[in-house]
Structure 1
Amino acid sequence: MADDDRIRSLLLGALDAQRRHVLAAIDGLTDAQLRKPALPSGWSPIGLVRHLTLGGERYWLHTVMAGEPLDDWPEDDPAVDAGRPADWRVDADEPTDAVVQEYRDAIARSDAILAGLPLEARPLRPEPDWPADRFPDLAAVLLHVILDAATHAGHLDAARELIDGRQHLVL
C-alpha cells in the first residue's frame, strides 16, 4: 500500500471510529436525558450532536472542502442560546431522533465528498482570515475534524457517566 493510501486509510478510519463513538455514547438515552444539560456550561448531549452535524461535518467537509453553501447555519439568538454558539441549539419541538438522523445524513454526505477528494485537495471555501498554512489541504482538515470529534466524544463519555453511570473504554 502506498504511503498516501495508508495515511488516507488511517485518517478515514479514525474519523469513522470517532463518529461511531459519538453515536454509541448517546445510544439508549431517553429524550429527556439527551436534552438535559450535562455540565454547568449548559450543553446537552443532543446539542453536542447538532454541533458535530453543523460545525463538524457540514461546515468543514461540505462547505470548506466541497464548496457547498452554508445556508443551514442558525442565526445566533443570545436569549435562547445562553452564550453558546447557535450550532448547539436544538429547539424543544425538534425530535431528538431527527437530530441524530441529520448527523447520520451529514456523515453520509461527507463520506461521498471524501470519496472523491485526494488528501492534497485544497479547500474550495477557506475562511478569508485563515493563515495560508492553517488548513492547506484535506489532510489538515481531516485531522482537525477528527480531533474535534474525538474531544466531543470524550465530553459525551463524561456526560454519559454522569447521566447513568455507563463508562466507555477506549482501546
Structure 2
Amino acid sequence: MSDDHERDLLLSRLRGQRSHILAQLDGLPDAQLRSAVLPSGWSPLGLVRHLTLSDERYWFEVVMAGGPLDFWPEGHNGDWTVGDHEPSEHVIEAYRTAAATSDALIEATALDTPPASPEPWWQKAGLAFPDLRTVVVHVLVETATHAGHLDAARELIDGTQYLVLD
C-alpha cells in the first residue's frame, strides 16, 4: 500500500468518526449538550472538549508538531470541563478547527515521521508511538470509542439511535 493510499484511508476513517461525533450533537439544545446522563458525569459538550484538547490538539499539535501545551486547562479533568459562560457553538467550532489543523498536518507529513515531542511516560506505560501512522491510529480509535459513548448518551437523552436493530 502506498503512503498516499494509506494516508487517504486513515484520514477518511478519522473524518468519518469525527462526522459521527458531530452528527450525534446535531439538534441537541444547549441544556442537553451540557447535561450528564451517564454515572461517569461527562456531558456531550465535555466529550467534544476532551476530543479537541486531548486527542486532536495534544496528539497532533504537541506530540507530532512539537508545539506547546499552553492550551491545557487547569484542574482535575479540565479537558472535559466546559464553563457555563462558554457558548456551545464555540466549543463545537473549536473541535472542527482542531480537526482541520490535524488534517493539514497529516496531509503534509510522512506517515513514518517520528513524534517531535515524545513523552517519557509512554515507555513506562508500555505504549509505543514511533510515528505519525501510530498516532493517527490511536486518535482514530479514541474518536471511535468516544463516538460509541456519545451514541449511548444520545439515546438516553432523547431516544435518537445511531444504530437501529430491527
When normalised by structure 2's length, the TM-score is: 0.93
Q: Which segment drifts farther, 52-61 or 111-120?
A: 111-120
Displacement of 1:133 in angstroms is 6.7
Q: What residue is the counterpart of 2:68 in the other structure? A: 69
1:152 aligns with 2:159: no
Q: What residue is the counterpart of 1:104 in the other structure? A: 96
Out of 55, 64, 81, the position equivalent to 1:89 is: 81
Q: Provide the rounded CA distance (Å) in 2 between the counterparts of 1:49 and 1:33.
A: 13
Q: Is the 8 A contact 1:11 1:142 kept in 2?
A: yes
1:36 aligns with 2:30: no
Among all aligned residue pairs of Structure 1 and Structure 2, give the percentage whose two residues are the same amino acid: 58
Q: Is the 8 A contact 2:46 2:82 kept in 1?
A: yes
Aligned AA (1:129): W
Displacement of 1:38 in angstroms is 2.1
Q: Provide the rounded CA distance (Å) in 1 between the counterparts of 2:15 and 2:68.
A: 24
Q: Is the 8 A contact 1:38 1:45 kept in 2?
A: no
Task: Identify unmatched segments of 5+ residues in structure 1.
Answer: 78-84
Q: Provide the rounded CA distance (Å) in 2 between the counterparts of 1:55 and 1:34.
A: 19
Q: Is the 8 A contact 1:63 1:69 kept in 2?
A: yes
Q: Is the 8 A contact 1:33 1:163 kept in 2?
A: yes
Task: Identify unmatched segments of 5+ residues in structure 2.
Answer: none
Displacement of 1:74 in angstroms is 0.5
When normalised by structure 1's length, the TM-score is: 0.90
Aligned AA (1:116): A
Q: Provide the rounded CA distance (Å) in 2 between the counterparts of 1:97 and 1:38.
A: 20
Aligned residues: CA RMSD: 1.5
Question: How far does the alpha carbon of each residue in 1:110-152 deviate from its partner, in whole angstroms, 9 at most, with x for none?
Answer: 1111121011011001102222970000010001000000000
Displacement of 1:4 in angstroms is 2.5
1:114 aligns with 2:106: yes
How many residues are matched? Answer: 162
Displacement of 1:169 in angstroms is 2.8
Q: Which segment drifts farther, 3-12 or 22-31?
A: 3-12
Distance 1:52 1:133, change over 3 A: closer
Secondary structure at 1:130 match in 2: helix
Q: What residue is the counterpart of 2:117 in the other structure? A: 125
Q: What residue is the counterpart of 1:80 in the other structure? A: none
Q: Is the 8 A contact 2:11 2:103 kept in 1?
A: no
Q: Is the 8 A contact 1:39 1:159 kept in 2?
A: yes
Aligned AA (1:13): S
